[in-house]
Structure 1
């Protein structure tokens, strides 16, 4: 058997955001979020997974949305690549989903809480635990202002349990998300919901169209990770690390600019060869579509 890499946003949406994923999502949320001692007993999946919708998506901005039985809203996002402004985007999306609940003239009392759950395949908060939760609190006495917006982060690199170590439901879900793409069998000590999740993630149950999209997503991630590593290597070769240690700001800026410029060109070329559209490439490298097309035209790639 071969399973999807759940850490790609496509696979995550397929498993947790499909029409038949209600019981899976309920189990997952109750396992990883503290709902003040209560269990969520019902939810509605908002904007369920479907191929036509996914084809027009922005590459790293797909999430699963659910409305709980008490009206609260949960946004769940799988993020494999860190980027500048990522933490601000998480807060922005939570605030946007909170404010969009009201139509003009409606009272603020109709607003329901929003929980933004982010699973990150990189470390955001060094020397902190696996899960970190943020709320609005008074600065000195930590009095809670409101729990209407809550940000929850789970950093997968900090989860290192093996199959033999799995004890809690949370352990089993995080193991599934982090390791399913590397397994060729279904672990025996899982619950019914995790077994169902493995069945959804089984590539033999996917259409040709879904498999093609998954492979493109995986290639995109590989390209971007390679680009980040290249930028780091070039920065080190330019003496960027030494410049940072010595505080030579001018040399650091020059080395960074040169590395970023070359990295952008390499990313544009590699992404184009992988079949990524120019408009999507422009979002990745933060340039105008015309600038991306100009680079490709210069190199005879268009």
Structure 2
């Protein structure tokens, strides 16, 4: 295969698809719907009559019922032709809250279906897919784990005919380890191909796995969906607008990770004086909160100066419209 047929930019220019902004550009875009459907069917192992054939993208923000509620914009939320809801979340760094956050997101999505006059029997299954660039379950060697509601002793499903709760965790670091050990079936397992796509670039380490690219290049000769994904990936990785947004988002994520680590270190230092338990808790909270709001304010100001729309900033930083309008108003007063 002619190398230029699948790639026209250097490998190190490709976005890391584990950065939520880049992931949404590829999998959360209406024009790439076919790619999204193939990816979801691969993760959920749906075939035959159960295959997802159509999805509707939904813009959904969780929280905000009270003034201090955490605002959370879902990475990707779709509704299938059967009315099932599927949320896909991508997480680059570990802040040790993924399980609780997942259950919170799931409960809000499930609850949001119920409208006045609707019976509980009409509630549809709600599925969450978490793609994590870190280890979630140290005692589980598998890179793909799936959870349902079941009885502790018999392990029987609470609702075997229609599981309303289904949660997937895909751990990319474990997946890459399997790939290095040559334990993956890239020819017959479609999910492996898509996870290789996600694992090819490591934005945090500024590393690209050229050997993964070569494997995907060969697979793309026969897989038109994979080829289409590569073309779109290449397109978004060289657009000036998306490059700026991607770099800003990656910097924000890495800064948040650094603050989290700094918070732990401060907590340990305080723990030496005040007692480990109390000091770690206080230091962690202070470290996480200190500078976060100011960092967001400064980043919003910069994006506004570059004439980015409020909707684009909402998607990029996960902030609500009200928060961005408030920062915009304060900035105007200061000027």
Residue 189 of structure 2 is aligned to residue 189 of structure 1: no
Q: How far off its partner does 1:36 sit?
A: 8.1
1:135: which partner in 2?
Answer: 148
Q: Give per-residue Cα distances to partners, 1:91-137, cap 9 Å, x unaligned.
A: 22223222322321123332221111111122222121211111111
Residue 22 of structure 2 is aligned to residue 11 of structure 1: yes
Worse-superposed segment, 86-95 or 136-145: 86-95
1:198: which partner in 2?
Answer: 230
* 1:40-59 equivalences in 2 (<5 Å): 40-47=51-58
- Contact between 1:43 and 1:66, CA under 8 Å: does it hold in 2? no
2:37: which partner in 1?
Answer: 26
- Unmatched segments (≥5 aa) in structure 2: 1-8, 61-69, 303-312, 328-334
- TM, length-normalised to structure 2: 0.67
Worse-superposed segment, 185-194 or 108-117: 185-194
* 1:248-263 equivalences in 2 (<5 Å): 250-258=275-283, 260-262=285-287
Q: Take 2:267 and 2:278, find their aligned partners in 1: how far apart are those partners?
A: 10
Residue 130 of structure 2 is aligned to residue 118 of structure 1: yes
- Among 175, 182, 199, the alignment partner of 1:178 is 199
Distance 1:39 1:259, change over 3 A: closer
Q: Take 1:259 and 1:75, find their aligned partners in 2: how far apart are those partners?
A: 29
Residue 109 of structure 2 is aligned to residue 80 of structure 1: no
Q: Residue 211 of structure 1 aligns to a residue in which SS?
A: helix
Q: How far off its partner does 1:7 sit?
A: 0.9
* 1:244-283 equivalences in 2 (<5 Å): 250-258=275-283, 260-262=285-287, 264-267=289-292
Q: How far off its partner does 1:64 sit?
A: 1.4
Distance 1:71 1:62, change over 3 A: closer
Q: Give per-residue Cα distances to partners, 1:156-190, cap 9 Å, x unaligned.
A: 12112159766122211111112246447673233
Q: Take 1:152 and 1:200, find their aligned partners in 2: how far apart are those partners?
A: 26
Q: Take 1:30 and 1:63, find their aligned partners in 2: how far apart are those partners?
A: 18
Q: How far off its partner does 1:150 sit?
A: 0.9
- Among 151, 159, 169, the alignment partner of 1:153 is 169
Q: Take 1:272 and 1:145, find their aligned partners in 2: how far apart are those partners?
A: 46
- Unmatched segments (≥5 aa) in structure 1: 50-57, 294-301
* 1:224-235 equivalences in 2 (<5 Å): 224-235=256-267
Distance 1:40 1:149, change over 3 A: same
Q: Take 2:197 and 2:42, find their aligned partners in 1: how far apart are those partners?
A: 13
Q: How far off its partner does 1:86 sit?
A: 3.4
Q: How far off its partner does 1:239 sit?
A: 7.9
Q: Take 1:210 and 1:35, find their aligned partners in 2: how far apart are those partners?
A: 33
Q: Take 1:20 and 1:42, find their aligned partners in 2: how far apart are those partners?
A: 15
- TM, length-normalised to structure 1: 0.74
Q: How far off its partner does 1:250 sit?
A: 2.9
- Contact between 1:3 and 1:198, CA under 8 Å: does it hold in 2? no
Residue 103 of structure 2 is aligned to residue 91 of structure 1: yes
Worse-superposed segment, 180-189 or 190-199: 180-189
Worse-superposed segment, 248-257 or 39-48: 248-257
Q: Take 1:96 and 1:59, find their aligned partners in 2: how far apart are those partners?
A: 12
Q: Take 2:27 and 2:136, find their aligned partners in 1: how far apart are those partners?
A: 23
Q: Residue 27 of structure 1 aligns to a residue in which SS?
A: helix
Worse-superposed segment, 135-144 or 196-205: 196-205
Q: Residue 170 of structure 2 aligns to a residue in which SS?
A: strand
